[in-house]
Amino acid sequence: MTAMERYTGTPKLMVPAFGLGVVGLVLTAVGFFMNPEATSFSYLLGFTYWVGISVAALIMLAIFHTAKAKWLIVLRRAMETMAVSVPVFAVLFLGLIPALKYLYPWFPGSPLFANIHGVELEHLAHKQHGYLNPTFFGIRQVIYFAVWIFVSTRLYGWSTKQDESGGLDLTVKQRRFSPGALPFLALTITFASFDWLMSLTPMWQSTIYGVYYFAGSFLAAFCMLMLITVNAQGKDLYGSVVKISHYHNLGKLMLAFTAFWAYIAFSQFLLVWIANIPEEAPWYGLRMFGPWRNLSIALFWLHFVLPFFTLLSRTLKEKPRLMAVIAVYLLLIHAVDLYWLIWPAFSGEAGPTFHWTLITAFVGVGGVSVGYALFRARGRYTLPVKDPYIAESLRYVQP
């Protein structure tokens, strides 16, 4: 490996990212005063999209430490930087607080509560009140972010410290810490998806809803890693030493999670549809009939069939630039998938609609989070230069 210095070129990207993010958030705030209902759902979509990628990167980082995987060590610093960006989402979550009553019918003072009648009203007032109330909701959010921030900063701190000391004990610490952290990470992201997304329609319940959410987030995280790696070329950037075998493996992970997302999506649909419980079936009924039907069918073809059969090609997975294009495509489709999850709670039988804050909120949250990630990368090596297995990772050849 050629001598690599700390990365100092971050401000060229960091300042525009932060600037674009701030402009997006300001415009979203203006939109909230004009149309609080639509803007609240727009902000929720942007927030859950970007925080999902960050937490998914953290979970996969812990999984790879647990598995003692060596091939991706050259890619690890990018994953660590994505994961250690979680604190900015704790701040951005504050933007959801004034939106809560416009999002959730169980929240006190929500105008959506007027649409709750009969059995649903009984469930909210008696059976679900112990869980769906502002106090316990707030406590859970603190727990989620506390776990994510603690784990991400711990792993990132040990990794960057090793850049200085080269201590082998730091590798041991990461590998011992990660297995114990995984159950907490899995539980927090699952319950976060229940709170943020599933409780938009309180009567809707699915035990694998959390898996559905982070399956899509995992896919998006690997797409983001592919995109970053392809563009991290030049002096002191780790992409310059990444081999085709690494790209091939990333492509296989993109293929795997495309299939996994489809498997979880179909499993959830099949179980709910077969059970045909009156409180649950309408959630899919809204999306399978009427104006949402075309988007549901499109997701099947565009989120599964097209990328799945495209990514089967070994030759394609060994062409980084083409894989970057596919990564961008899948990142966009993941946003459509979240729109399909969230927006029907707002527009209902009116079908798919568009509000301009969908763009501003997405760009606002994304710009600030990307800018923060670049800030954390500033003055650091773009790969773990003193990891004991870095040379082995650089020599990796696809079997």
The yes-or-no verdict on residue 225 having pLDDT over 80 is yes
Query: Per-residue pLDDT averaged across 134-145, rounded?
Result: 97
Structure confidence at residue 4 (pLDDT): 81
CA distances from 13 to 17, 22, 46, 74, 368 (A): 6, 14, 21, 22, 12
> Contact, 136 vs 114, CB < 8 A?
no
- Pick 84 or 278 by higher pLDDT: 84
Q: What percentage of the chain exceeds 70 in pLDDT?
A: 95
Task: Give the whole-number percent of the chain exceeding pLDDT 90.
Answer: 84
For the stretch 291-299, contacts whose Cβ atoms lie closer than 8 Å and that sit 24 or more positions apart, written own/partner, are: 291/349, 291/350, 291/351, 291/352, 292/340, 292/344, 292/351, 292/352, 295/336, 295/340, 295/352, 296/340, 299/333, 299/336, 299/337, 299/340
pLDDT tens for 27-48 read 999 999 999 999 999 999 999 9
pLDDT at position 280? 85
pLDDT, greater one: 108 or 57: 57
Model pLDDT for residues 339-362, shown as the tens digit of each residue: 999 999 999 999 999 999 999 999
d(CA 340, CA 227): 24
At 103-138, the pLDDT tens digits run: 999 998 888 876 676 666 666 655 677 889 999 999
278 three-class SS: coil
Q: What is the DSSP string of 282-328?
A: HHHHHHHSGGGHHHHHHHIIIIIIHHHHHHT-HHHHT-HHHHHHHHH
Nearest alpha carbon to residue 243 among 257, 229, 255: 229
Round the average pLDDT of the chain to a whole number and report it: 94
Residue 126: predicted pLDDT: 58
Measured CA to CA, the distance from residue 293 to residue 287 in angstroms comes to: 6
**For 73-85, how does the pLDDT look when each residue is reduced to its tens digit (9 = 90+)?**
999 999 999 999 9
The confidence band for 13, taking pLDDT boundaries of 50, 70 and 90, is confident
The tokens describing 123, both together, are: 């469930």
- Distance of alpha carbon 298 from alpha carbon 101, whole angstroms: 31
**Torsion angle in degrees (nearest 10) through CA of 88, 89, 90, 94:** 110
Among the listed ranges 114-118, 129-133, 230-234, 257-261, which one has the minimum average pLDDT value? 114-118
3 state SS of 94 = helix
Q: Whole-structure pTM over 0.75, yes or no?
A: yes
What are the backbone angles phi and psi of residue 232, rounded to the nearest 5°?
Answer: -85, 60
Confidence of residue 5 (pLDDT cuts 50, 70, 90): confident
Per-residue pLDDT tens for 297-331? 999 999 999 999 999 999 999 999 999 999 999 99
For residue 208, the Cα-to-chain-centroid distance in whole angstroms is 17
Band the pLDDT of 9: cuts 50, 70, 90: confident
When pLDDT is cut at 50, 70 and 90, the band that residue 227 belongs to is very high
